Amino acid sequence: MAHFDLTDSSAVVVIGSGAGGGTLSNELAQKGVKVVCLEAGPRLSLADIVNNEGTMFKKMSWLDPRKGTGQLHPQFPSWSCKTVGGTTMHWEGQCPRLQEHELMAQTTYGEVADTSFIDWPLGMQELSSFYAKAEDKMGVAGTNGRPFLPGNNNYKVMAAGARKIGYQDVDTQHMAINSTVRDNRPSCQQIGFCNSGCAIGAKWSTLYTEVPKAEATGNFELRAESMVVRIHHDAHGRVTGVDYYDKGGVLRHQKARAVCVAGNAIETARLLLNSHSDLFPGGLANSSNQVGRNYMTHFTICVISLMPKPVNFHRGTQMAGVVRDEMRHDLSRGFWGGYSINPVPFPPEFLAAHMQHGGWGEELTASLQQYDHLAGLMMMGEDPPQATNRITLDPEVTDQRGMPIPVVHYSDHPNTTKMKAHALRQGKAIHSALGATKSYEITSLPATHNLGTARMSERVNDGVCNKWGQTHDIKNLFVSDGSLFSTSGSANPTLTIVALAIRQAEFIKSEIEKGNI
């Protein structure tokens, strides 16, 4: 592994090692660009991963203090990861592409009250080849000649019920989980516990794919447990380096040729806002006052049902499956945009807390005693950008390093409320079609897809970055995670984040060769 001096200003500093930062780091290193990657969390190995959700939650989750307002949990408004690999450790592996109409949200949906819709500054024609590269990199099942994963019992219940009520576009989904041996990693063994990390490495994560490949080039240095607290710039407004606290709690300064921020949408906005200066009093790249605004998170609501026969929904690949029929844009349903339907399991301790809010006594325990008869569905839908849903800095409360904690404000748009009601009805209808005796709704899950807080825009005033993720204000400052999303669409965002990171790496390399960075 390479080691770069703190005074070496020839390296690109990448902040974060997840889907965006880990991919970008490897792509740059493979092209001969020097990279220092600063990751706030520790580096785990496959030996550290255990099939216990409670244990892995403590090992991987971002548990530093945050404040939620609006309809969010006040102490835990969002779920993200603090570990090498970021949320690619926690995710389920779903890899749908955005739909073309979702990239043109403003054109498709028109003027919608209390939203800040824009079209993405790039279209599907420009993005599709990078989707293909991302699917190949991640070994996505069902693409490039790779077989789909088999469905578990929970999927089979969903698929049978869905077809019985008329849905047609149903399969085990494009998943970044090996369906055959590939990339020196095994195929899925149907162990389950996918979102607790993958104990055998069959699921794609930057921890054991992009990061070690980048290290092998000799152009990459990973510094784990290194929390960046400020980005610096010179008198001309070009970024010059970052301050970070290292593993030992010592404040360091790393010089940089360019800085790429990929800390997940909440921490990315927090860092840009905290890097305010006399030249940039509202925070870096924030001349438009858009940093932190337009925070989006797909709604995730669930239906858990008691079925007539055992399902054992915890066994097998957890979320390999999708019903796509409701992902279309069809105003006849009473809302714009769409949602997907996916199989999902939960452990007993989670269901005890969430399946019946306030539930107690015989009714709750009777349902949990039939755990092997439970089937589960998760509905995930498009979330409109709203300028009032945003990340700000708490004016009074700081973390252990003296950095203001982020305040995350979010409230559903009325369109989301209508879509949720439709999704819950359809989820129950799927299970009822196969004889479900009882269904429960889970509507209070914390957000996991954090998007839009430094979005790409054609016009400077509408966003923070151009179509390359380069900030409008500072040419050697980039954003490289889900913060870039102009709108959320209805698809799991990881594949799009990886595609954009591959594309951004090509642009940065080109700018270096031109002498612009």
Model confidence pLDDT, tens digit, residues 284-313: 999 999 999 999 999 999 999 999 999 999
For residue 358, what pLDDT is reported?
Answer: 65
Residue 363 banded pLDDT, cuts 50, 70, 90: confident
Helix (H, G, I), strand (E, B) or coil at 267: helix
Q: Give Dmax (Cα) for the chain.
A: 71
Helix, strand, coil shares of the chain, percent, nearest 5, are 30, 20, 50
CA–CA distance, 467 with 452 (Å, rounded to integer): 13
**Beta strands at 258-261 and 477-479: parallel, antiparallel or unpaired:** parallel
Q: Which residues pair with 170 in a beta bridge?
A: 323
Which string of DSSP letters, residue by residue, matches 379-403? EEE-----TTSEEEEEEEEE-TTSP
- 249 in helix, strand or coil? coil
- Bridge partners, 233 (sequence order): 239
Question: What are residue 224's phi and psi, to 5 degrees?
Answer: -80, 165
- Tell me whether residue 191 is exposed, middle or buried, using C-beta atoms within 10 angstroms of its C-beta: 0 to 12, 13 to 18, 19 or more: middle
Q: How many CB atoms lie within 10 A of CB 277?
A: 13
To which H or E segment does residue 409 belong?
A: strand 404-410
Which whole number is the average pLDDT over 128-152? 97
pTM score: 0.97
Distance CA 441, CA 419 (A): 15
* pLDDT the model gives residue 49: 95
Surface-to-core class of residue 362, CB atoms within 10 Å of its CB (0-12 exposed, 13-18 middle, 19+ buried): exposed
The per-residue pLDDT for range 385-414, each reduced to its tens digit, is 999 999 999 999 999 999 999 999 999 999
What pLDDT, in 10s, does the model give residues 317-344?
999 999 999 999 999 999 999 999 999 9
- Which three-class secondary structure state does DSSP give residue 289? coil
The percentage of residues in the chain with a pLDDT greater than 70, rounded to a whole number, is 99
Task: Tokens 């407004």: give the residue.
Answer: 237
Q: What is the mean pLDDT of the chain?
A: 96
Size (the chain), residues = 517
User: What does the buried/exposed string (b/e) look like for 136-157 if buried means 16 or more CB atoms within 10 Å of the residue's CB?
Assistant: ebbbbbbbeebebbebbbbbbb
Q: At what angle do helices 153-164 and 414-432 cross, to 10 degrees?
A: 100
Nearest Cα neighbor of 211 from 339, 89, 116 is 89
